[in-house]
Amino acid sequence: MAATQVNPTRMELTRLKKKLKTAVRGHKLLKDKRDELMRQFLDLVRENMELRMKVEAGIKNANKNFVIAKAGMSEQTLHTALMAPKQEIYLECDKKNVMSVDIPVFEYRTKTADANDIYSYGFAFTSNDLDDAVKSLADILPDMLKLSETEKACQLMASEIEKTRRRVNALEHVVIPQTEQNIRYITMKLDENERSTQIRLMKVKDMMLEEVREKAQ
Binding site for other proteins (CB under 8 A): 38, 41-42, 45-46, 48-49, 52-53, 55-56, 59-60, 62-63, 66-67, 79, 82, 85, 87-93, 95, 102-104, 106, 108, 110-111, 118-120, 133-134, 137-138, 141, 144-145, 147-149, 151-152, 154-159, 161-162, 165
Determine the Cα–Cα distance for residues 48 and 41; give it in Å rounded to an integer.
Answer: 10
Comparison of 14 and 155: residue with beta carbon closer to other proteins: 155
State in angstroms the smallest separation of the CB of 82 from other proteins: 5
Comparison of 20 and 145: residue with beta carbon closer to other proteins: 145
State in angstroms the smallest separation of the CB of 172 from other proteins: 15
Comparison of 12 and 131: residue with beta carbon closer to other proteins: 131
Tell me how far apart the 2 most distant CA atoms of the chain are, in Å.
137
Do residues 72 and 127 lie in contact, with contact meaning Cβ atoms separated by under 8 Å?
yes
Determine the Cα–Cα distance for residues 182 and 214; give it in Å rounded to an integer.
Answer: 48
Determine the Cα–Cα distance for residues 38 and 69; give it in Å rounded to an integer.
Answer: 45
State in angstroms the smallest separation of the CB of 24 from other proteins: 24
Neighbours of 148 (CB within 10 A): 15
State in angstroms the smallest separation of the CB of 154 from other proteins: 5
State in angstroms the smallest separation of the CB of 171 from other proteins: 18
Comparison of 106 and 198: residue with beta carbon closer to other proteins: 106
Output the CA–CA distances (angstroms, integers) from residue 72 to 67, 76, 78, 126, in the order listed: 9, 12, 10, 8
Comparison of 102 and 206: residue with beta carbon closer to other proteins: 102
Phi-psi region of 100 (alpha: psi -120 to 50; beta: other; left: phi over 0): left
